[in-house]
Structure 1
């Protein structure tokens, strides 16, 4: 009997997920297009990474994660990123999720990065950013160069630096 009641609870949870659109009938997550994700971003999320740059950044972060370099060249979370920016000992670039709500959680980070001359870019999805660094949720990531991922890092850094500065 107890087993049947837990199965009923699981069936209720699954149906609730189906109604929200987070999970389809096959158990796969539904994917939004790049344009839909950008439309959900905050108005201050400028410069926004292009679709191609977003994929390159996620690929770089997955390579860092797969290579076991996360502690060496990847700082994620608001607290760790601000600490790294304040210390000003590491050179790299900053990736910020554009769909963070409330935006006050990250609104101070781009200003601080501009003061320290650190290039930064927004990506459209907080969930995808967190998945790339294998965490549950993260709003920003500071990426530092490492010889194991230098090719991917340099490609991302060049494109971020070539982006136009945000209009203030």
Structure 2
């Protein structure tokens, strides 16, 4: 690899890290704007404070291998294993038929779920540059207290 390519890759890496930090936000105006773009089945939608807590949980769980399931098939498999966890679904997915069966699976297996407004932010939080429509978070000792708080808050949400 030439010296120029090494420098370019270092610049690209630093730019992508900055992009992740700048695009993931739970500011009031931006969050309300994202909430206006969700689809009709996105209920219960996480409040701004709960979304902030859930984003923090996703970021911590993504650092632990096998404690964050990302993608439709992996999440379906994790739900059917009937372990304790939280399911987060992106609210701005079209067509909704792609993942409309996931809330039913969660209710059947007594796993709490909620929607967050942006699939792009959900994907960036998992450490990928691609968007993610559904995420399953398993508990781990390193973030157990945060997981328990989020679990209770998501479990208390009421579907309208």
Query: Would you say same fold, with TM above 0.5?
Result: yes
Q: Secondary structure at the match of 1:72?
A: coil
Any unmatched runs of 5+ in structure 1?
Answer: 1-27
Q: How many residues align?
A: 135
2:50 counterpart residue number = 53
2:125 matches 1:125: no
The secondary structure found in structure 1 opposite 2:127 is coil
CA RMSD in angstroms comes to 1.7
Gaps in structure 2 of 5+ consecutive residues: 1-21
Aligned mates of 2:85, 2:32 — CA distance in 1: 27
| In 2, Cα distance between equivalents of 1:53 and 1:155 | 10
Choose which of 22, 33, 38 in structure 2 pairs with 1:41.
Answer: 38
> Which protein shows a greater Rg?
1
Correspondence for 1:86? 80
Contact map agreement 2:90 2:122 (CA 8 A) in 1: yes
- TM norm structure 2: 0.79
Which segments of structure 1 move beyond 4 Å, counting only runs of 4 or more? Answer: 28-32
CA deviation vs aligned residue, 1:112-147 (integer Å, no higher than 9, x gap): 111111110000000111111112121111111100
Match of 1:161 in 2: 155
